Amino acid sequence: MCGIAGSVNTPTDEKTLEFIQHRGPDSQGLVLDTVGSNQVYFGHTRLSIVDLSEAGNQPMYSDCGNYCIIFNGEIYNHLELRKKITGITFKGHSDTETILYYIREFGIESISEFNGIFAFGFLDKVKQKLYLARDHFGVKPLYYYFDSNKLVFGSELKVILSNKAYQKEIDLNAVNTFLSFRYNPAPQTIFKNIFKLKAASYLAYNFNGQIKEKKYWNKSQKINYHIGKEEAIEQYQYLLKQAVNRQLLGDVPIGLLLSGGLDSAVLGYLMSQFNSRPVNTFTLGFEGKGDFNETEYAKETARFINSEHHQVLINKKIYLETFHESFYHVEEPIAEPTIPALNSVSALARKYVKVVMSGQGIDEPMAGYKRYFGEKFLSSNTKLLKLLPLNLLSKLFPRNHSLARGLHAIQYKNDLERFIGIFTIYTQDLKTEIYKNELEQFKNESLNYLFSDSFALADSSNGSLSKLLFVDTRTMLPDNLLLFNDKITMANSIENRVPYLDIDLVNFIESLPVSFKLKGRTGKYLHREAVKKWIPNSIIQRKKRGFSTPVDEWFQDELSVTLEDLISSGGSFSRIYFNLNALKKMISEHRNRKHNYKHELFILLSLELWYKNFYKNF
């Protein structure tokens, strides 16, 4: 796992690489090449995992000198791909060298055959093109900026922000999107004219200022209604074991981020089956008791899989300090309460390993979240619900945030708009109250276009829930959860692997009828059934918790004061674009328990801290 940085006709230098050194502290490389009259800079910082020798260093040129690659990620099937290449004497056994020649031999479209996590830049001097590519589910981020004959790209925004070709500016349309969803789906970033390459896509730049983005994996979903439960279980078990075994690829030890839940326990069990030595496992807890402390559950799982277990406890002070600092690493104002927790457990893990696995990526395709039951309920009872006094329900339960979002979503007639309604935090009514100045023009903006491509590929024959799972896996997952997981783990110089997003496994899961995923109120139904032969029932039946914090309570106490001070301070983002009285009213109503605005206030806090700690200071 590494960091990449590159540019055309505007310098990338050693100072640029210093901004992403945490992504690759083992070595770094920088080359300047030419294509016609164009200057091409390729830079790389390396975290050595596969082939620790110098043969794996980058930038890496082909033997003919006409092709060059800078690569961030792991290609788990690269040895299978290498067998298809003839006439090459390889210098080492890295996956980087494999794909350099594989793309030379079979063309850029061949990346659809890669099973792994990746973001790379590839220079083809014969065709006079530069390609950028991102993996199937966007586990690895890749940003770019272009203007006429200049192009800048990198694993992190710092690469572009530090380049003289780019003039920093906020994209207010993206701010509007962020307030709606608490993150920005690709291609948006909150910086004007800086874009995230979409997952499963590549960009071709032809050195005359023209770029073209194309999907290399545009597969339509097709449900297999003929598969039986036992056959599905057998196939699922096989593919999951294959995924974990594949992702143990490497020349360094691989650990596990272990929560108290089922998903990481399954990975731990399978890792222990494939490892001769105990796996290092890492857990974080919040001091005290309650839903925000899973350490006892994690210890129980660690004993079951016989791991070398490590844990760290944090308190509110550490959490908030880490949260303030996290925006330098995340770079986008993603409003996810788990970010400080991930940073603390990653800091613990880096003392022992360079690579960890985690259970990220199973909940979206397998209906693991409560919202999926909500969608099933809404779509099945739309007519009945519209006969009920919904406004009265809202008044009777003013602090039930899930109810409020459900009531907001049910007003929409078509599936895509309802999906967007389910995820909407700041509604149009709320935006009308708080927006001012230039931001007002975006309050009624339709955001359908950010999700329509994925929605169009979903199989409509299996109901709306099946479509929502398909869309979530391609939008919410890559540009929210996976993005900050990459940024935070790499800030601590460790690679995070996600076996549940193995291509073969996800292809199979997405072919299953939705009844195999949500049965009654039980999410991940087939997953639970399939692991019964591996995992004790006491672990399987645990209530899904994840890492949670008492944000609701904090905003009823001193955190509301902190937020009010932030928005009122001179030079705050809120002073420029928001109605301060409307914001203070929200804070007051939450503090006095008249309404539950914990998500809205957390978004606002994240935006202000990002603006103060990253945007204004970088």
Mean pLDDT on 88-106? 95
Phi then psi dihedrals of residue 248, to 5 deg:
-85, 5
Residue 401 pLDDT > 70: no
Query: Which of 115-119, 267-271, 283-287 has the lowest average pLDDT?
Result: 283-287
Specify the pLDDT at position 410. 66
Mean pLDDT on 587-610? 93
Using H for helix, E for strand and C for coil, what is the string for 401-426? Answer: HHHHHHHHHCCCCCHHHHHHHHHCCC
Residue range 103-161, pLDDT digits in tens = 999 999 999 999 999 999 999 999 999 999 999 999 999 999 999 899 999 999 999 99
Residue 605: both structure tokens together: 């806090």
| SS3 state at 356 | strand
Buried/exposed code over 313-351 (b: 16+ C-beta within 10 A; e: otherwise):
ebeeeebbebbeebbebbbbbbbbbbbbbbbbbbbbbbe
Give 383's pLDDT tier (boundaries 50, 70, 90): low
Task: Locate the DSSP E strands across 125-193.
Answer: 129-134, 143-147, 150-154
Domain 229-365+468-540 fold is Rossmann fold (3.40.50)
Which strand ranges, in their side-by-side order, compose the sheet holding 308-314? 308-314, 280-286, 254-257, 355-357, 495-497
Residue 260 pLDDT > 90: no
Residue range 596-606, pLDDT digits in tens = 899 999 999 99
Report the C-alpha gap between 69 and 99 in whole angstroms: 9
Residue 402 pLDDT > 80: no
The pLDDT > 70 percentage for the chain reads 93
pTM: 0.94
Specify the pLDDT at position 174. 98
Report the C-alpha gap between 491 and 577 in whole angstroms: 31
Give 290's pLDDT tier (boundaries 50, 70, 90): low
Residue 413 pLDDT > 80: no
Q: How far is CA 91 from the centre of its chain?
A: 34
Q: How far is CA 56 from the centre of its chain?
A: 27
CA-wise closest residue to 554 among 322, 397, 320, 294: 320
Specify the pLDDT at position 321. 92
Report the C-alpha gap between 174 and 477 in whole angstroms: 18
Residue range 355-380, pLDDT digits in tens = 999 999 999 999 999 889 878 877 76
Residue 26: both structure tokens together: 């083992």
pLDDT higher at 158 or 385: 158
Per the listing, tokens 């009122």 go with 568
CATH code linked to domain 2-215: 3.60.20.10
Specify the pLDDT at position 215. 96
pLDDT higher at 419 or 39: 39
Residue 599: both structure tokens together: 């998500």
178 touches 439 (CB < 8 A): no
Exposed/middle/buried for 122, CB within 10 Å: 0-12, 13-18, 19+? buried
Query: Which of 220-229, 449-458, 538-547 has the lowest average pLDDT?
Result: 538-547
Spell out the domain ranges in the chain. 2-215, 229-365+468-540, 550-618
The pLDDT > 90 percentage for the chain reads 79
Phi then psi dihedrals of residue 58, to 5 deg:
-135, 160
How many CB atoms are located within 10 Å of the residue 446 CB? 8
- Indicate if the alpha-carbon torsion angle 275, 278, 284, 289 is positive or negative: positive
Residue range 441-485, pLDDT digits in tens = 999 999 999 999 999 999 999 999 999 999 999 999 999 999 999
Contacts (Cβ under 8 Å, ≥6 apart) of 462: 223, 513, 514
Report the C-alpha gap between 89 and 543 in whole angstroms: 53
Specify the pLDDT at position 396. 46
Radius of gyration in angstroms for the set of CA atoms belonging to the chain, rounded to a whole number: 24
Contacts (Cβ under 8 Å, ≥6 apart) of 408: 421, 424, 427
247 touches 497 (CB < 8 A): yes
The angle at the Cα of 31, spanning 26 to 34, to the nearest 5 degrees, equals: 160
**What are the counts of helices (DSSP H) followed by strands (DSSP E) for the chain?**
29, 19
Report the C-alpha gap between 572 and 320 in whole angstroms: 19
| H or E element, residue 40 | strand 38-46
Residue range 491-522, pLDDT digits in tens = 999 999 999 999 999 999 999 999 999 999 99
Residue 117 gets the label, from left (phi > 0), alpha (psi -120 to 50) or beta, of beta
Specify the pLDDT at position 421. 86
